[in-house]
Amino acid sequence: MKISFAFLAAVAGGLVGCSQRDHSGASLSAKPHGNLTPKVATENGRLIFLTGRDRDGLKIVAASPPLRPSCAACHGANGAGGQKFTDGAVSADLRHAALAGKQKPPYTIVSLERAISHGIDNQGKPLDKVMPRWKLSQNDLSDVAHYVYAYLK
Ligand code: HEC
């Protein structure tokens, strides 16, 4: 929770890249292991989303073998989605305006994590089975949810 809060605070403050240094040295000061800094969390989330491997090189896995290895392979690198699958499913638009703007109720980090890991959407309904039920560590789950929530525009 501490990590998420710090990360959200950084995002809410509109702090990006090196400007973080000016405002909150604390959130950027590199701690080699254990304590994830927001920057590392973002990078890990980005890696998972784009490549299907986390920063340790571990391949992400799901409850049943996923049709494709990474989020980007189905949702597109920018998260726009729109890819059609044989069972009629269409990959969802994961950009912020779609998830937190158009959707009712808007997705939150918590409901995003639930969608990614349990395939339950923001209204409590099961997502199409083409969307894998990902089995991620809590860190990886949180990082990829934050990446989707804050970085897909
Ligand atoms: C094999 C293709 C595939 C992969 C890989 C995949 N998704 Fe999906 N995803 C889908 C489809 C298809 C849907 C739409 C399901 C539906 O309409 O019920 C979806 C829906 C979602 C939703 C729900 C959005 C909404 O509007 O309710 C989220 C969140 C999501 N995916 C995130 C991810 C993340 C994060 C990853 C990577 C860890 C990922 N997906 C990997 C196919 C995929």
pLDDT in tens, 50-87: 999 999 999 999 999 999 999 999 999 999 999 999 99
The CB of 45 under 6 Å from ligand 1? The reply is no
pLDDT, one tens digit per residue, over 10-23 is 444 444 443 344 33
User: What is the model's pLDDT at position 128?
Assistant: 98
The CB of 47 under 6 Å from ligand 1? The reply is no
User: What is the model's pLDDT at position 6?
Assistant: 45
CA of 119 to the centre of ligand 1 (A): 8
Greater confidence (53 vs 35) lies with 53
pLDDT, one tens digit per residue, over 36-49 is 677 787 899 999 99
Claim: this prediction has a pTM higher than 0.85: no
Greater confidence (35 vs 144) lies with 144
Domains of the chain, by residue range, sit at 5-9+37-151
Cβ-proximal residues to 84 (8 Å cutoff; 6+ apart), any chain: 90
CA of 21 to the centre of ligand 1 (A): 34
> Using CA atoms, how far apart are residues 75 and 90, in angstroms rounded to an integer?
9
**What is the average per-residue pLDDT within 147-151?**
96
pLDDT, one tens digit per residue, over 74-132 is 999 999 999 999 999 999 999 999 999 989 999 999 999 999 999 999 999 999 999 99
Domain covering 5-9+37-151 in this structure, CATH number: 1.10.760.10
Place of tokens 């950084």: 10
The CB of 136 under 6 Å from ligand 1? The reply is no
Residue nearest to atom 2 of ligand 1 (CA): 74
Ligand 1 atom nearest residue 128's Cα: 18
Residue 2: is its pLDDT beyond 80?
Answer: no
Own/partner contacts of 56-63, CB < 8 Å, gap of 24 or more, are: 60/134, 60/136, 60/140, 61/134, 61/135, 62/132, 62/133, 62/134, 62/135, 63/132, 63/133, 63/134, 63/135
CA of 131 to the centre of ligand 1 (A): 4
User: What is the model's pLDDT at position 19?
Assistant: 39
User: What is the model's pLDDT at position 37?
Assistant: 75
User: What is the model's pLDDT at position 34?
Assistant: 53
